[in-house]
A = this chain, B = another copy of it.
């Protein structure tokens, strides 16, 4: 699906709800988004959708529900995104530093000049799985009461949508540097990771029966670097050349 790039940064932000349990929260999230000028809702394997309860809670934001994209894979919902933030209620064992909501919003708005961006929210009870977080570039936390940090899903969407609106209205980050490359879209990075995995197994470096943390570590490295299109092409070119039978010296 190609939406082209809207002039309004808020229209380049996808809100992705993964495995939402309660239709009321989906409706509440749609309303929260619309109040802040967001419109692009993605639902990954929602328990009930469409639903009358979602429509009721959406109030005047039924259009956001009508245009929502439903899919069964988070990777599909992130297809084409240049920056993806995972909203998480707790610190995770990841080397990527956690951003606070306000800082993450500024980064997302800045990145939206180069392509679509996404904010990913997990299930109401269990949050995002580690595999889901691993598909994102950065974890984001909403500052909250340490004794009770259990924000309602629609409330969490509301705060981040509000911060995005604030960030979009602010004078913003300095324009990108001239030499700066094009960030690689999500699916290119996944293909690169898959290529490394094939090459590691094919060369005998990685035993698929005992994969250790090798592939997640590479994915994390590329996410942290915000790897660019051209860099993906270089690395894949080297891997492909190495996978050919060795050349004899002429």
- Give me the interface of A with B, judged by CB distance under 8 Å: 28, 31-32, 34-37, 59-61, 91-95, 97-100, 102, 141-145, 148-152, 154-155, 158-159, 162, 165-166, 169, 171, 173-174, 176-181, 196, 199-200, 202-206, 214, 217-218, 221-222, 224-228, 230-231, 234-235, 237-247
The one of B28, B31, B143, B234 in contact with A217, judged by C-beta atoms closer than 8 angstroms, is B234
Q: A31-B152, A227-B221 are in contact. Are A242 and B239 (CB under 8 A)?
A: yes
Residues of B within 8 A of A35 (CB): 144-145, 148-151, 155
Q: Is the CB of B241 within 8 A of A200?
A: yes
Give complex CA distance A235, B227 in Å. 15
* 19 more CB-based (< 8 A) A-B contacts, given A143-B165, A202-B246, A205-B241: A28-B152, A31-B150, A32-B151, A32-B155, A35-B155, A36-B144, A60-B150, A97-B177, A102-B166, A143-B166, A144-B165, A151-B158, A152-B158, A155-B158, A199-B242, A200-B241, A217-B234, A242-B242, A245-B246
Contact across chains for A34 and B238 when beta carbons are under 8 A apart? no
Q: Which of A169, A171, A231, A234 has the most CB of B within 10 A?
A: A234
From B31, B95, B202, A181 is in contact (CB under 8 Å) with B95
Q: Is the CB of B217 within 8 A of A231?
A: yes
Number of copies of chain A assembled together: 2
A-B pairs with beta carbons under 8 Å apart, 16 shown? A31-B151, A35-B145, A36-B144, A37-B145, A93-B178, A97-B174, A98-B174, A141-B174, A144-B165, A151-B158, A159-B159, A203-B242, A204-B244, A206-B238, A221-B228, A224-B226
Taking A35-B150, A204-B247, A218-B231 as contacts, is the C-beta distance between A162 and B177 under 8 angstroms? no
Q: Smallest Cβ distance from A34 to chain B, in angstroms?
A: 5
Quick one: which of A35, A102, A159, A230 has the most chain B CB within 10 A?
Answer: A35
Q: Do A237 and B141 touch (CB < 8 A)?
A: no
CA A162 – CA B145 in complex, angstroms? Answer: 10
**Residues of chain B with a CB closer than 8 A to A206's CB:** 238
Tell me, in angstroms, the Cα distance from A15 to B250 when the chains sit together: 48
CA of A150 to CA of B5 in the docked complex: distance in angstroms? 27
Query: Is B98 a contact of A177 with CB atoms below 8 Å?
Result: yes
Q: How far is the CA of A235 from the CA of B222 in the complex (A)?
A: 12
Q: Which residues of B contact A169 (CB under 8 A)?
A: 143
A228 to B230 Cα, complex, angstroms: 22
